[in-house]
Chains A and B, each alone.
Chain A
Amino acid sequence: MTTRTMSRPIEATMTDPSLGLPTISMAVPMPGFPAHKEFVLVRLNDDGLLYALTSLDNPELRFLVAPPEPFFPEYAPEIDESVFAALNTKDPDRVLLLTVITAGKEETTANLLAPIVVDRDSMRAMQTVLTGSGYPVRAIMNRSY
Chain B
Amino acid sequence: MLVLTRRAGESVMIGDDVVITVLEARGDVIRLGIQAPRDVQVHREEVYRELQDANRAAASPTDDAVHAITQMLQKPGE
Contact = CB atoms under 8 A, between A and B. Distances in A.
- The range of chain B's interface size is 20 to 34
Contact of B54 (A27, A28, A138): A138
- The range of chain A's interface size is 35 or more
Nearest to A33: B55
A47 B53 CA distance: 29
Contact of A64 (B47, B58, B76): B58
A102 interface: yes
Interface string A41-66: 00011010110100000001111101
Given A52-B66, A137-B51, A61 B60 contact: yes
B26 interface: no
Contacts of B44: 131
B64 interface: yes
A66 B67 contact: no
Contacts of B47: 129, 131
Q: Is the interface of B mostly helix, strand, loop or mixed?
A: helix
Contacts of B74: 45, 47
Contact of A32 (B38, B43, B56, B65): B56
A137 B56 CA distance: 13
Given A10-B67, A100-B54, A61 B59 contact: yes
Given A45-B70, A49-B73, A108-B68, 19 more contacts: A3-B67, A10-B70, A31-B48, A31-B51, A31-B55, A32-B53, A32-B55, A45-B73, A47-B73, A50-B69, A61-B60, A63-B59, A64-B58, A64-B61, A86-B38, A101-B58, A111-B54, A129-B43, A131-B43
